[in-house]
């Protein structure tokens, strides 16, 4: 059984992968990584904010608002 520390490390790994994808302009792929990280750590306010920002960048204001509301 994974510990909460293991789960947090895995979530951080997915977040970092998403951050790298954003730097490379791969927004949709980054969202996928961040969604996985949020499943592992749904209380991560930074991830919700990052997700909202990228959704706005992609023109999906409604989803961005929903993501930001979870912060």
Q: How many other CB atoms are found less than 10 A from the CB of residue 24?
A: 9
61 contacts: CB under 8 Å, gap ≥ 6: 55
Domain range summary for the chain, segments of one domain joined by +? 4-69
The per-type count for the chain, helices as H runs and strands as E runs, is 4, 0
List pLDDT tens digits, range 20-60.
999 999 999 999 999 999 999 999 999 999 999 999 999 99
pTM of the model as a whole: 0.88
CA distance 46 to 67: 11
List pLDDT tens digits, range 49-67.
999 999 999 999 999 999 9
Please give the DSSP secondary-structure letter assigned to residue 59: T
Please give the CATH superfamily to which domain 4-69 belongs. Tetratricopeptide repeat domain (1.25.40.10)
Task: Give the range among 6-10, 13-17, 50-54, 65-69 with minimum mean pLDDT.
Answer: 65-69
């Amino acid at each position: 059984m994974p510990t909460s520390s293991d789960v947090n490390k895995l979530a951080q790994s997915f977040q970092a992968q998403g951050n790298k994808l954003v730097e490379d302009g791969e927004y949709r792929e980054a969202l996928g990584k961040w969604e996985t990280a949020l499943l592992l750590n749904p209380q991560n306010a930074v991830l919700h904010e990052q997700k909202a920002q990228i959704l706005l960048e992609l023109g999906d204001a409604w989803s961005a608002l929903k993501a930001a509301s979870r912060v």
